[in-house]
Amino acid sequence: MYRRKQVKMNKRKNIALIAHDHRKRDLLEWARFNMGTLSRHNLYATGTTGKMLKDELGLDVHLFKSGPLGGDQQIGAKIADGEIDFLIFFWDPLSPLPHDVDVKALLRLAVVYNIPVATTRSTADFLISSPLMSEEYERIVLDYEEKLREEIIKAISQESETNEDKQ
């Protein structure tokens, strides 16, 4: 059983925006439609996507590296550090990706830290229009670190017993 902790999300959310090449236009259209709401939050994006949002819409976006060059991992690290509250990730499920493992790792972190994730435009519409977007919110995060510590201690204990039996 995992212990739980609550993590506060402020009214002004930290939103990460990512779009694969074949989905960048979709994200741009979605962001244009939701520009008023997005402008009230802190925006982060992988390189090419963020530059497009800045150039086309004039949004203030903190840029990370391009996804295949480590940008997905940079956003994942920010999620793990509690600095990203929300992920909009328009990915292309039919295109092979050279950095597919990075994408999977990013989505895993979003689940581990229980942040809202939209991978489709309709899901993004539902999330961005939620009344919770303009309120403080406390998300519940399972304490996986405590569980890992318990498993490490158990493994060390079992190894010590095995070594004692051999002597």
Q: Specify the DSSP element, H or E, that contains 9.
A: strand 4-9
55 part of the active site: no
Query: Residue 167 burial by CB count (10 A; 0-12/13-18/19+): exposed, middle or buried?
Result: exposed
Query: Distance between CA atoms of 85 and 11, rounded to whole angstroms?
Result: 11
Strands (E), 10-103: 14-19, 42-45, 61-63, 86-90
Set 60, 72, 125, 143: catalytic member: 72
Residue 26: other Cβ atoms inside 10 A: 16
Query: Distance between CA atoms of 102 and 99, rounded to whole angstroms?
Result: 5
Residues marked active site are found at: 72
